[in-house]
Structure 1
């Protein structure tokens, strides 16, 4: 098992343990202190436990070796998991929005919560913040989209808990449950925005694109640095989890032997690896110098950047 996968699994177990503790505490206090907002916060925390279970399952799938059906391996399972996580985030926001709009429209007043709800919410904010920070740290370190996506979900939970704290405090101070309802509606819209953003971010990889288009410049610079390699063109760069898959056409002297042409191709590959981190695979297509093919309809040339 790679060190990257070990870190992702470790971060997932930390998330499961932390969220399980927070969820049970918030649910218990929510019922005993008669706070609907704290109960809702606890339910949202329970949904986080499920997302971590998905991450654990996906991490184990992604380390499987390539197969006949999936010759590139299973690393894209992380991107698919990020897509599922975006649905969970969006669902949580939609559920919160619906519940509070229903309360607002019906005119039904919520019972005033007890002060105990304030204390457990404050503890929840600290716990959620630490978990979110840990997830972002490991997500950035391992370049894991699904961990970063879940960290954004955790960050939304922090804002949710802050709104619960403010709403509960304002409700107790002003004796107005309406404040809690209005704040919850605002937070639910913010959570919906995060869910949509995570959904859109995973689209780039699923569409065989890259967010950092400067990678193309480095590929062309690498080809230019190799003597005997001409006209790098039809470059295609994809990402699979945290790794790059690169295809590139280059031209060489048409009178050169296959062996010498191969050496130039290998040199270009090495130059690319020296300039670009996390390269999974490089495919170099060699053509005779001056070759032109009318039906080349995909890939990028330097003048298209």
Structure 2
């Protein structure tokens, strides 16, 4: 069964032909045995569209059998455990750095919920309300996680900045008058004009160095979560899972800063890094600088993720290198010899000869890719032959790139018998 227009040689996106494999793909039952609506399912139920989509969202969150959901849930439960453990240990062992690290792990919980929701929803089949699918929900999730990363980087940066300023203030009081003293005094005077965001050192008590064990466990756990989540993200070509992996690593970085501060305070009691207080020196300033470096690293990662998500939201095309690879994948169809053609009485031929590929373009939506192109074919090619060639082009591209979800082909007729100049 195929719906085709009378003109067999050229088709545009407005009158795209629907071949039998597309019909089967849209009408086959989903993983839960439920029928997914296709464009051939023509009964009217607009008044139920919102309820149908809401049901899909609930169903998506109830099923967690795929790898993306499993690794996200592992990360979520790990963040719950790490937040509780570091929060209690920070309070009991009088570690302000560990308490701050627990707060960062708590922010990761929000990222895990966002990732789980967007990942599951993006895997649902197209609906009447979303006929092109839910893939861009994955892009939306990537955008949200990137903003969380940027916010976390700014928070760590401001906190480290104000700790560094306070260390410089005490350093100024310990060095003799001179050019360096005057320079540092000017710097600290200007720095105090920058407002502090949630900056407080009200937690008092003697620091227990055993708090470092909790920070060390957090570093190991979050680095492991980063690696396994990134592995799944690479295999699934999922930007939102990759963003969550980066979020795990940012938490590992913040735990490194906490570990550094706790050990530094233990090794150098006169340089209380956790929290800041008492006498200090210029070495104190050097010990605080890793927090600023980490904040810049996390900020760059967040901005990179946001930039990638922004290009997807604005329908930017794929890179020139990826485009060339797609064209190269179709070269065997161009170079293969044409099979013997069968002539019909109306002058058309049953040949699947592909003369050239022109105007190939593609865009990403989450882990999916959508491709459209123009194919030059003989002007006397039959409707059946163009249908076969369309299927062959689609299969070739999907075999070359797993993430390709849809291929749309526009055929351009070429008179192969015209005299060449």
Give the TM interval when normalised to the shorter protein.
Answer: 0.7 to 0.9
Q: Is the 8 A contact 1:204 1:210 kept in 2?
A: no
How far off its partner does 1:214 sit?
4.1
> Which gives a bigger RCO, structure 1 or 2 (Cα 8 Å, sep 6+)?
2
1:15 pairs with 2:75: yes
Q: Supply the distance in 2 between the matched residues of 1:51 and 1:232 (Cα, whole angstroms).
A: 42
Unaligned 5+ segments in structure 1 are: 292-305
Q: Pick one of 202, 210, 228 that aligns with 2:318.
A: 210
Q: Matches of 1:171 and 1:192 in 2, distance apart? A: 27
Q: CA deviation at 1:141?
A: 2.4
Q: Distance in 1 between matches of 2:324 and 2:251?
A: 34
**Are the structure 2 counterparts of residues 225 and 283 from structure 1 closer, same or farther at C-alpha, using a change threshold of 3 Å?**
farther
Once the two structures are TM-superposed, the CA of residue 222 in structure 1 deviates from its matched residue by 4.8
Report the number of matched residues.
291
TM-score, normalised relative to structure 1: 0.85
CA, structure 1 residues 134+276, in 2 after alignment: closer, same or farther (shift >3 Å)? closer
Structure 2: segments with no counterpart, 5+ residues: 1-29, 32-62, 171-200, 274-283, 339-352, 417-421
**TM-aligned CA deviation for residue 89 of structure 1:** 0.6
Give the corresponding residue for 1:27: 87
Counterpart selection for 1:122 from 190, 200, 216:
216
Counterpart of 1:267 in structure 2 is 392
Shift in Å, 1:219:
4.4
SS of the equivalent of 2:66 reads helix
- Give, in whole Å, the separation in 2 of the partners of 1:43 and 1:31: 12
Q: Which residue number corresponds to residue 78 of structure 1?
A: 138
Per-residue CA distance 1:239-271 (angstroms, 9 max, x = gap):
233232111101111133333333333333333
Taking the aligned partners of 2:395 and 2:116, their CA distance within structure 1 comes to: 34
CA distance in 1, matches of 2:105, 2:215: 12
Does the aligned pair in 2 maintain the 1:86–1:199 contact within 8 Å?
Answer: yes
**Residue 161 (structure 2) aligns with:** 101
CA distance in 2, matches of 1:127, 1:145: 22
Comparing both structures, which one devotes a greater share of its residues to helix? 1
RMSD: 2.6
Q: TM-score, length-normalised on structure 2?
A: 0.63
Bigger-Rg structure (1/2): 2
Range 71-80 or range 132-141, more displaced: 132-141
